[in-house]
Chains A and B, each alone.
Chain A
Amino acid sequence: AQTVTQSQPEMSVQEAETVTLSCTYDTSESNYYLFWYKQPPSRQMILVIRQEAYKQQNATENRFSVNFQKAAKSFSLKISDSQLGDTAMYFCAFVSNNNDMRFGAGTRLTVKP
């Protein structure tokens, strides 16, 4: 069974600094997708970034980038130049072509002014 683990229940960072959120997963599949979703207090889940397992290059979206280590089954999210609007719950998620999407328990990120 696929599992997703986020070992940091809460994190905080000063505005304009960089923070890294950790995620590990367990799967026997060779091809799959990984995602980071952001959920602000409004509850709307917003896709931050996605990574396809067969691509070695780490995905990047503006201030957000990932460090995808397939052998270690690790998928961390780096947020650069943190902004107050980045304050939210962040969920790591995994999906393969014969399984439903699995989410981690989430990391609550607080950006401090």
Chain B
Amino acid sequence: EAGVAQSPRYKIIEKRQSVAFWCNPISGHATLYWYQQILGQGPKLLIQFQNNGVVDDSQLPKDRFSAERLKGVDSTLKIQPAKLEDSAVYLCASSPSDWSEQYFGPGTRLTVT
């Protein structure tokens, strides 16, 4: 069974630039999550999708972050414009239901300079 795929693995941008991350969940998993993990901390949920609908985006900074999950499969997370404090690892995870164990992708390490 293929795992959760994410790209790119690394990205370096200057502040005020835009960036997008892509995630392909495990086939058949209805629930998809985006997390932000700042160095030295545990992951923090940014947004949760159930199929192509948003379940929870209460911690998503909506003035600069956006996410979509068209057709209920792949998802993209965008930051526009980026700030220095957005430097973090962005993790995508998927699960068969909304409260079972989550399967994580390898993450994208973003550095904003």
A28 on the B face (CB < 8 A):
no
Cβ A105 vs Cβ B42 within 8 A = yes
CB contact list, B17-76 vs A, under 8 A: 33, 40-45, 48, 56
Cβ A91 vs Cβ B93 within 8 A = no
Closest to B3 in A: A44
1/0 per residue, CB under 8 A from B, across A80-113: the answer is 0000000000010101110011011110000000
Report chain B residues within 8 Å CB of A93. 42
The number of A-B residue pairs with CB atoms under 8 Å apart is 49
Closest to A103 in B: B42
Tell me the complex Cα distance, A106–B104, Å.
Answer: 16
**B-side interface size class:** 20 to 34
Contact residue among A4, A35, A44, A96 (Cβ-Cβ distance under 8 Å from B107): A44
Contact residue among A45, A47, A50, A97 (Cβ-Cβ distance under 8 Å from B91): A45
Report chain A residues within 8 Å CB of B33. 100-101
Closest to B108 in A: A43
Closest to B100 in A: A33
Report chain B residues within 8 Å CB of A4. 42
Closest A-B pairs by Cβ, 9 of them: A103-B42, A45-B104, A43-B107, A100-B45, A95-B99, A97-B99, A44-B106, A47-B101, A103-B43
Residues of B within 8 A of A (CB): 33, 40-45, 48, 56, 89, 91, 93, 98-107, 109
